[in-house]
């Protein structure tokens, strides 16, 4: 019955206007100190200037204890806003002063840690929630990952309910699909292990699992001191994720967060927006903007810095990369749809609002293999490495080869053992021999632990529902908020957008390598 009503609505609605849907509306956004969060804010400021207000929930830190301080020094000053600030600095500052509202709070605390007056003011003002806050550390200690990526969603759900069941858009990840293989659609994810019970109301029951995990965390905390505890909590998270069907603690806890929202927001419009591997912007605000080194860059950096000449992965595997601006646009379209349909369809309607899933990805419509990506990087390095001095310290001399993870680890251990012995023998003779090759081997092995799952893909993400949403946007605005990965020319993107952007925005100037002095040198200096 719900599906029929929605299909009639979709047929009648031939043009959602993003600008009209957001005009005068107030949006609560979390996670805006992160990479994607900054792109969302910049896009709203630039292309939806009549939005009522953007409310930023930001946790204070030791350097900037207030949200306003972090916004000023960590968000507004970011290079993503350079173009807007250069084009019209007065308009930029005016928007910040009038439309940006900073709230010092913590998503993991009930009522976000706000006092009653502050919380009531917020719930009476906000029309929609965009939750992009997350711990994206693949090896986060389990207790922290649970708190941020899963349990905090109860606070989001409570806020929505108290604010009048306002809609929620949750930024998740395509990789909640875990160890599932093949063609992966925009739908709720069944765990690959099959060990978590399903509820016919549309979600997996995770409460018992969470209690079990918390008991295991508590047992570790009572058994180990602080120095050992963190590593034990990291290992526990990875072990539990692997046992139940995920590669890492991040994707495991993000999946749990989805299930929590599906259960607690049964009577509320909910959109789960899942990006794949998010990389530098394709179009705006400038092509190639990026902050920090992302997942796919592990392969690129390993080649550029000549740390190793081989890396675990499947050269024929399709790596799913999506530019950050297409992700931000997808989020904004999702928000516009939630507001448009909340205003016109569900108010006063006894039918439960829909729970939608959109995947922002490229592998289903515009695939690029890992081998193709590496070749594009190698071509750019061969021809123009001098232009990227922060990325390429010199022209790479050796090709980069992908091998199976099993073979890679065997080769690394074969190299590592004699180097460790050499270092040990040196110490016996009073010399602290620093072997650079050993450092490179350990770096490569650490990278393989984290990233080999993503470089040996056995899946393809599909997103016809996101493309259909884009087609429901009115034609004049569709080009302002593109989401379709078929826009990407991979040769141009990798060679002329991503590599220059990585070099300009994400990397620091090279620090010269310094050999550690021998023990006797240290003693002589002390004398």
Q: Where are the domains of the chain?
A: 2-300+320-369+460-494
Which residues does residue 270 pair with via DSSP β-bridges, in sequence order? 168, 355
412 or 124: which carries more pLDDT confidence?
124
Distances from the Cα of 240 to the Cα of 235, 244, 251, angstroms: 9, 6, 12
DSSP string, 159-203: HHHHTTS--EEEE--GGGGTT--EEE-SSPPPPTT--SPEETTTE
In this predicted structure, the answer to whether residue 11 has a pLDDT above a threshold of 60 is no
- Confidence check: pLDDT of 149 > 80: yes
pLDDT of residue 134: 95
Higher pLDDT, 444 or 110: 110
Scored b (16 or more CB within 10 A) or e, 18-33 reads bbbbbeebbbbbbbbb
For residue 512, the tally of other CB atoms under 10 A from its CB is 4
Give the pLDDT confidence score for residue 414 in this predicted structure. 75
pLDDT given at position 305? 84
C-alpha distances in Å from residue 301, one per residue of 22, 339, 409 = 40, 42, 19
Q: Band of the pLDDT at 10, cuts 50, 70, 90? A: very low
For residue 345, what pLDDT is reported? 52
Q: Which residue did the predictor score with more confidence, 14 or 304?
A: 304
User: Does residue 155 register a pLDDT over 80?
Assistant: yes
With cut-offs at 50, 70 and 90, classify the pLDDT of residue 313: confident
Q: Is the pLDDT of residue 419 over 90?
A: no
The predicted model scores a pTM of 0.89
- Tell me the percentage of the chain whose pLDDT exceeds 90: 74
- Give the tens place of pLDDT for each residue, 172-223: 999 999 999 999 999 999 999 999 999 999 999 999 999 999 999 999 999 9
Strand partners, 369: 318
Q: Say which range, 101-105, 133-137, 160-164, has the weakest mean pLDDT.
A: 133-137
Out of 71-75, 292-296, 387-391, pick the least confident.
292-296
Place 273 in a pLDDT band, splitting at 50, 70 and 90.
very high
CA distances to 159, 221, 234, 262 from 357, rounded to whole Å, are: 21, 37, 30, 11
| More confident: 449 or 384 | 384
Token pair, residue 194, equals 């099959």
Average pLDDT of the chain is: 89
Answer yes or no: are the C-beta atoms of 500 and 391 closer than 8 Å. Answer: no
Has residue 440 got a pLDDT over 80?
Answer: no
423 pLDDT tier (thresholds 50, 70, 90): low
Residue 512's pLDDT band, with cuts at 50, 70 and 90, is: low
For a pLDDT cut of 70, what percent of the chain falls above it? 85
CB of 450 closer than 8 Å to CB of 249: no
Could you read off the pLDDT of 109-125 as tens digits, one per residue?
999 999 999 999 999 99
Q: Could you tell me which CATH number the domain at 2-300+320-369+460-494 has?
A: 3.40.50.720
Distances (CA, A) of 168 to 118, 368, 402, 493: 20, 32, 41, 32
* pLDDT of 434 strictly over 60: no
Let me know if 211 is exposed, middle or buried by CB neighbors in 10 A (0-12, 13-18, 19+).
exposed
Note the pLDDT of residue 347.
46
Residue 338 pLDDT greater than 70, yes or no: yes
Question: How much is the average pLDDT of 376-381?
Answer: 95
pLDDT digits (tens, 9 = 90+) for 445-489: 666 766 778 888 999 999 999 999 999 999 999 999 999 999 999
Mean of the pLDDT values across residues 391-401?
A: 88
pLDDT over threshold 50, residue 397: yes
């Amino acid at each position: 019955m719900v599906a029929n009503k929605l299909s009639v609505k979709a047929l009648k609605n031939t043009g959602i206007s993003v600008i009209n849907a957001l005009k005068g509306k107030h949006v609560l956004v979390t996670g805006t100190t992160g990479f994607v969060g900054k792109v969302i804010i910049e896009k709203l400021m630039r292309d939806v200037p009549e939005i009522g207000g953007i409310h930023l929930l930001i946790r204070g830190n030791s350097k900037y204890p207030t949200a306003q301080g972090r916004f000023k020094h960590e968000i507004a000053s970011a290079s993503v806003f350079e173009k807007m600030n250069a084009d019209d600095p007065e308009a930029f500052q005016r928007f910040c002063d009038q439309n940006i509202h900073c709230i010092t709070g913590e998503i993991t605390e009930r009522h976000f840690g706000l006092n009653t007056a502050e919380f009531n003011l917020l719930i009476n003002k906000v029309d929609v929630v965009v939750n992009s806050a997350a711990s994206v550390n693949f090896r986060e200690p389990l207790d922290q990952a649970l708190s941020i990526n899963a349990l905090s969603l109860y606070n989001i759900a409570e806020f929505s309910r108290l604010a009048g069941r306002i809609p929620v858009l949750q930024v998740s990840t395509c990789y909640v699909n875990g160890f599932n293989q093949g063609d992966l659609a925009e739908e709720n994810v069944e765990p690959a292990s099959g060990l978590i019970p399903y509820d016919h109301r549309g979600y997996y029951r995770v409460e018992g699992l969470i209690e079990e995990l918390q008991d295991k965390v508590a047992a570790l905390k009572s058994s180990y001191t602080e120095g050992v505890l963190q590593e034990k909590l990291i290992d526990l998270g990875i072990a539990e994720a692997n046992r139940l069907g995920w590669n890492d603690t991040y994707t495991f806890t993000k999946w749990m967060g989805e299930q929590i929202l599906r259960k607690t927001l049964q009577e509320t419009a909910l959109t789960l927006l899942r990006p794949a591997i998010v990389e530098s912007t394709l179009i705006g605000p400038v092509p190639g903007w990026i902050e920090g080194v992302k997942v796919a860059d592990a392969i690129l950096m390993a080649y550029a810095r000549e740390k190793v000449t081989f890396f675990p992965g499947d050269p024929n595997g399709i790596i799913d990369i999506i530019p950050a601006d297409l992700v931000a646009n997808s989020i904004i379209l999702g928000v516009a749809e939630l507001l448009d349909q909340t205003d016109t369809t569900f108010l006063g309607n006894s039918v439960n609002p829909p729970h939608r899933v959109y995947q922002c990805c490229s592998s289903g419509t515009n695939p690029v293999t890992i081998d193709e990506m590496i070749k594009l990087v190698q071509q750019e390095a061969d021809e123009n490495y001098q232009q990227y001095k922060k990325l390429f310290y010199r022209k790479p001399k050796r090709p980069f080869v992908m091998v199976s993870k099993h073979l890679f680890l065997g080769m690394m251990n074969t190299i590592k053992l004699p180097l460790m012995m050499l270092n040990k023998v040196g110490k016996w003779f009073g010399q602290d021999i620093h072997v650079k090759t050993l450092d490179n081997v350990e770096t490569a092995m650490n990278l393989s632990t984290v990233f080999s799952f993503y470089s040996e893909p056995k899946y393809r993400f599909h997103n016809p529902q996101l493309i259909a949403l884009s087609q429901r946007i009115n034609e004049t605005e569709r080009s302002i908020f593109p989401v379709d990965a078929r826009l990407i020319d991979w040769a141009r993107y990798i060679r002329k957008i991503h590599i220059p952007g990585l070099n300009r925005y994400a990397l620091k100037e090279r620090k010269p390598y310094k050999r550690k002095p021998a023990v006797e040198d240290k003693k002589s200096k002390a004398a």
